[in-house]
């Protein structure tokens, strides 16, 4: 489960409203019948309209400055293996989202009216999306790139010929373009995979819009706080503050496993991801020390993500990862994490 938390962008290109973001999330419903569309939901409601989401988020911004984000975006991104475990069910994802948002509330080191923050204090709206598109960090795009670059060069040459700036055989160049299109290593339905093309297979994920203010519009709740869990003196009173992302990510992961009896491999864990980012050598060492079946699954998941695991296949007692080997593995796994192809 790969989870992200992002503040609303407040630069000149974005209005001080959730309208643009909500409109972006509604695009997947275009061209679909009402029955086929996915609607917004929250902790207790279903089929909430886009208009209501905008009205509620925009109206819950008391005392926030123009330079402060009015909402945060959370994404819950299950891996292909996790989606298979829940049969790619939108209802299962909604159930999980509601439980994950309870963990979100618990991660705040705050109190409201003398009580710990609960999910009832959080104003949020969520939406299940069923599609994803290929982006630049995906293995398919990266390995097709030399072909894409050459095709662009040939098309530029054709335009120059048509403009009379150079002479060559346009038919010959078009034939070469056709050859490159057909021989690019990654194809989908007979076409070269390019950025923006819809990915095949289960791609469901959840977008959540969370108000910066609590449900009563009195208190600011920022998951972007630099303070994890501390207390400060304000107006002569001790005030708790902070948000613990580590706790939220770990507990959300455990929640999925408990709800759906999911057996998580080491490389799918948040702990593994943090280890990889802080100490790649320890990360690789941990993989090689896994029990045989778990290690085999870890290798399979990494290979499916485009990572060359040859170096990790060396017997543990002989494993001596050189700096060069570590950098090669780190680069491959880093790309897999960026593209979301590893479920961590």
pLDDT digits (tens, 9 = 90+) for 259-270: 999 999 998 999
pLDDT in the model for residue 149: 96
Q: How far apart are CA 126 and CA 274, in angstroms?
A: 27
Q: Dump the DSSP string for 119-180.
A: GGG--EEEEEE---B--TTSHHHHHHHHHHHHHHHHHHHHHHHHTTSS---HHHHHHHHHHH
Nearest 5°: phi and psi at 127?
Answer: -150, 130
pLDDT band at 237 (very low <50, low <70, confident <90, very high): low
Query: Residue 344: pLDDT above 50?
Result: no
Per residue in 241-254, pLDDT (tens digit) is 689 999 999 999 99
Structure letter (DSSP) for residue 9? P
**Span(s) in the chain for CATH 3.30.930:** 2-132+200-260
Q: Could you tell me if 129 and 204 are in contact, meaning their C-beta atoms sit under 8 angstroms apart?
A: yes
- C-alpha to C-alpha distances, 246 to 3, 91, 147, nearest whole angstrom: 11, 26, 41
Q: Could you tell me if 219 and 97 are in contact, meaning their C-beta atoms sit under 8 angstroms apart?
A: no
Choices 1.10.3470, 3.30.930, 3.30.200, 1.50.10: CATH for 2-132+200-260: 3.30.930
Q: Dump the DSSP string for 40-89.
A: BB-SS--SB-HHHHHHHHHT--TT--TTS-SEEEEEEE--HHHHHHTTT-
335, containing H or E segment: helix 323-339
* pTM beyond 0.85, yes or no: no
């Amino acid at each position: 489960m790969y989870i992200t938390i992002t503040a609303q962008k407040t630069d000149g290109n974005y209005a001080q409203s959730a309208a643009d973001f909500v409109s972006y999330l509604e695009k997947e419903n275009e061209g679909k019948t009402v029955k086929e569309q996915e609607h917004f939901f929250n902790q207790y409601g279903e089929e909430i309209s886009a208009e209501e989401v905008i009205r509620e988020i925009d109206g819950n911004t008391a005392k926030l400055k123009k330079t402060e984000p009015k909402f945060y975006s959370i994404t819950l991104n299950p891996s292909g293996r996790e989606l298979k475990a829940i049969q790619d069910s939108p209802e299962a994802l909604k159930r999980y989202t509601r439980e994950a948002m309870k963990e979100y509330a618990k991660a705040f080191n705050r109190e409201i009216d003398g009580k710990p923050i609960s999910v009832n204090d959080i104003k949020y709206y969520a939406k299940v999306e069923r599609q994803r598109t290929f982006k630049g960090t995906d293995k398919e795009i990266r390995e097709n790139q030399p072909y894409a670059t050459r095709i662009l060069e040939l098309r530029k040459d054709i335009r120059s010929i048509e403009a009379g700036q150079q002479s060559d055989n346009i038919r010959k160049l078009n034939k070469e373009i056709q050859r490159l299109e057909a021989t690019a290593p990654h194809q989908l339905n007979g076409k070269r995979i390019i950025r923006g093309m819809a990915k095949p297979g289960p791609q469901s994920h959840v977008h959540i819009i969370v108000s910066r203010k609590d449900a009563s519009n009195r208190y600011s709740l920022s998951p972007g706080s630099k303070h994890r869990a501390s207390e400060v003196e304000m107006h002569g009173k001790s005030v708790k503050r902070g948000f613990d992302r580590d706790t939220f990510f770990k507990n959300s992961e455990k929640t999925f496993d408990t709800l759906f009896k999911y057996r998580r491999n080491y490389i799918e864990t948040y702990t593994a991801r943090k280890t990889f980012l802080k100490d790649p050598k320890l990360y690789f060492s941990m993989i090689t020390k896994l029990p045989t079946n778990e290690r085999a699954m870890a290798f399979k998941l990494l290979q499916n993500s485009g990572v060359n695991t040859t170096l990790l296949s060396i017997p543990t007692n002989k494993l001596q990862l050189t700096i060069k080997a570590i950098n090669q593995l780190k680069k491959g796994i880093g790309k897999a994490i960026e593209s979301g192809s590893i479920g961590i």
